[in-house]
Structure 1
Amino acid sequence: MRQLIEKQHNILEVSGLQVKAKTSIGTIPLVQDIQFELKPGHVLGLVGESGSGKTITSLSLLQLLDRKITSIEGSIRLHGRELNGLSAKEMRRIRGKEIALIMQNPMNAFTPVYTIGNQFIETIRTHTNLTKKEAFELAVDSLHNVNLPNPSDIMRKYPFQLSGGMLQRVMIAISLCLRPAVIIADEPTTALDVTNQLQVLRQLDWIRSEYGTAILLISHDLGVISELADDVIVMQNGRIVEKADVYQLFDHPQHEYTKKLLHARPSLQFNKENSRIGEP
């Protein structure tokens, strides 16, 4: 499958992307000269410390930054169509249907006073001509596909009645149901325990394998990146400092900042002298 994917055209092409914040003393660069591309079924990891520009980059791709206080320059092409500069109405047609976002905090993704079903169905009907009944059936099927038990019952629940892991999978189900070409997963496992992290990673891997969805995986967790990504971009101070195949980057990092990130990973120190439980 990998050889087939390599021959296919790019779904998403980003070049010369620059985002600047407008202030009373002038403009301040937030990200500069960002360039990458995504092919079908490909997972691109985006790593860097907090404030390096990862989330700003993802929001600019979705055209979700406030244009009153920010400016976006450069090219963002989805299936060859330029997204930068499209009207809000045009972008609403594209978001969710062609390019979807999985947020890092699932509790912030849902309106607390509406049921999961209400919000799920509204999302589907915004982008399709399905009836309410057809949208309900599609939503239930999508929840089943992400291994959530009793999907019909979940549709009647409110967000606070579900755990963080369940809400994260609901978000994935919503992202998946319209078969978007690209999914941007912004820290999708940050708020989850280890068991739910594994479930979410397996689900993302299944999505890219089953449907050929391209995934931009944003994370500061290098373990998550090493598990899922094909290639990795390292960002520092709003710039790309290194881009490499995931094996190359972890085994032979070139940039000093990348080396520092890798060395900062927590490790378990094993002392042979005290290796037996209960031994002093």
Structure 2
Amino acid sequence: MGIEQSNVLEVRNLHVEVNSINGSTTLVQDINFELKRGRVLGLVGESGCGKTVTSMSILQLLDRKTSNVEGSILLQGRELNGLDEKEMRKVRGKDIAFIMQNPMNAFTPVFTIGHQFIETIRSHTEWNKKQAAELAIEALHHVNLPNPARLMKYYPFQLSGGMLQRVMIAIAACLHPAVIIADEPTTALDVNNQKRVLHHLDKIRSEYGSAILLISHDLGVISEMADDVAVMQNGRIVEKADVFQLFDKPQHEYTKKLLNARSILHLDEMIIHLA
């Protein structure tokens, strides 16, 4: 098997339970999928189906006191499930990066963009401040942000949501991680910024070979970006297929329902536009 087709992430029999005073509740179960180098896997489903829980499990970000994660999460052959927090901090940002839905939540409001970007780079490399700053400016330039050197001095509240999302993509991509998890990366953005963000993600995938797990309820985004698609319902993956097969010949009734809902929505939009 060639390097291009090798699995960089393998999730096997993932099962997540959360414990409370009322007992344990299963959030996701029997989750199996893999990510290949330079490929995009779209993970779709309605809100509450377990998409974000799956991503948080991979990143080992669930509260270990209240949740129980079983199964195997192999990143480039290394088991992540059960890895202690100190070791996971070395992995996050360097080998596996995360782009969250609300970019404002990703930044500390009292530090400049530059400070946070530089500290992220230095936490995973031996570079000095000057070298890290140069890489940060170059990374911001790659996502088409104007005057990156000046932007480094800004605080998060001084940037729009679309600009912050691009900063987050620049931070996620700058160390060329094997895997990028993008959780609803375009939900909070207008149409123009959505297109920019998707373009930058596609550029990262093609230039660096990063595999992308793209989580979205937007089937338009999935159809444009994904190579393969996994459909989630009630904490399980009910269908997996390449993007063309899934959209042209869906097998599961829930997938058909999702696609039909999208068709009805587009028809309604057309009627409103023509009225």
Give TM-score scaled by structure 1 length: 0.94
1:7-36 Cα offsets, whole Å, 9 max, x none, are: 531000000000001122322100001000
> Which residues of 2 match residues 1-280 of structure 1 at below 5 A?
8-265=5-262, 266-268=265-267
Give the Cα–Cα distance (whole angstroms) in 2 for the partners of residues 256 and 230 of structure 1.
21
Q: Secondary structure at the match of 2:93?
A: coil
1:28-80 Cα offsets, whole Å, 9 max, x none, are: 10000100001110000000000000000000000000011100000000111
Give the Cα–Cα distance (whole angstroms) in 1 for the partners of residues 151 and 59 of structure 2.
28
Give the Cα–Cα distance (whole angstroms) in 2 for the partners of residues 9 and 70 of structure 1.
31
Stretches of structure 2 that go unaligned for 5 or more consecutive residues are: none
Give the Cα–Cα distance (whole angstroms) in 2 for the partners of residues 205 and 9 of structure 1.
19
- The share of aligned pairs that are identical, in percent, is 72
Give the Cα–Cα distance (whole angstroms) in 1 for the partners of residues 52 and 139 of structure 2.
27
Give the Cα–Cα distance (whole angstroms) in 2 for the partners of residues 223 and 110 of structure 1.
28
Give the Cα–Cα distance (whole angstroms) in 2 for the partners of residues 139 and 63 of structure 1.
26
- Note the C-alpha offset of 1:133: 0.6
Alignment length, in residue pairs? 271
Give the Cα–Cα distance (whole angstroms) in 2 for the partners of residues 178 and 10 of structure 1.
19
Q: Structure 1's 148 and 4: CA in aligned 2 closer, same or farther, altered over 3 A?
A: farther
Q: Secondary structure at the match of 2:171?
A: helix
1:217 is aligned with what amino acid?
Answer: L
- Note the C-alpha offset of 1:238: 0.3
Give the Cα–Cα distance (whole angstroms) in 2 for the partners of residues 144 and 187 of structure 1.
23
Please provide the CA RMSD for this pair.
1.5
1:69 is aligned with what amino acid?
Answer: T
Give the Cα–Cα distance (whole angstroms) in 1 for the partners of residues 154 and 78 of structure 2.
38
Larger Rg: 1
Give the Cα–Cα distance (whole angstroms) in 2 for the partners of residues 25 and 154 of structure 1.
49
Give TM-score scaled by structure 2 length: 0.96
1:75-111 Cα offsets, whole Å, 9 max, x none, are: 0001111000000000000000000000000011101
- Note the C-alpha offset of 1:4: 6.1
